[in-house]
Amino acid sequence: MNPEIAEKLNNQISLEFNTAFLFLSLSVRLKDYGMRGAGGWMRTLYHNACDHSLRILDYLTMRHIPVVMPSISPVDYTWDSPSDLFRLAHSHATIVSDAIHRLIVLCRRESDFSTERILLPRIHSQLRLESRLADMLCVLLRCGHDASAIFLFDNSFRN
């Protein structure tokens, strides 16, 4: 495997784990705010991001490429409303999407089709998440500080 691709995959593992930690933090904040439905959904996103990291990690291990275990960055943010949290989640999802796109372009340039094939399903799920977060952010912005509208929004997450 091209050393640059290996390095970028290790960076992606770190980015995915940091994303997972962000989603877990947002889950706690939303639940503290009384939004148990949205908080539970963010916790699901935490698990999904961990799974994505582990898939890349397993792929590197299978290829006998050294894995650099990431350190988790502290989550630092301020918020006045749930829309601030969803804006942060969407912004971070965009960063992850861009990183995966750059990795795919690098794989194509280096003719590393097996790694590209591992990343393609990830970019599709990431773009769906990015779109869903954008839609939710639009709804929350319409809700403003209306408690009943926020309650209805949160209730839409419950099964």
At 107, is the secondary structure helix, strand, or coil? helix
Model pLDDT for residues 1-35, shown as the tens digit of each residue: 899 999 999 999 999 999 999 999 999 999 999 99
Alpha-carbon distance 13 to 66, whole Å?
12
- 100 CB neighbour count, 10 Å cutoff: 23
Q: What's the pLDDT score for residue 35?
A: 93
Residue ranges of domains in the chain, CATH in brackets:
3-72+79-155 (1.20.1260.10)
Q: How confident is the model at residue 159 (pLDDT cuts 50, 70, 90)?
A: low
Based on its alpha-carbon atoms, the radius of gyration of the chain, rounded to whole angstroms, reads: 17
Model pLDDT for residues 137-149, shown as the tens digit of each residue: 999 999 988 989 9
Query: CB of 42 within 8 A of CB of 133?
Result: no
- 70 CB neighbour count, 10 Å cutoff: 17
Query: CB of 137 within 8 A of CB of 83?
Result: yes
**Percentage above 90 pLDDT, the chain:** 83
Q: What's the whole-model pTM score?
A: 0.91
Alpha-carbon distance 141 to 23, whole Å?
20
Q: Examine the pLDDT at 123 and tell me if it is beyond 90.
A: yes
Over residues 80-103, mean pLDDT? 94
Alpha-carbon distance 112 to 2, whole Å?
8
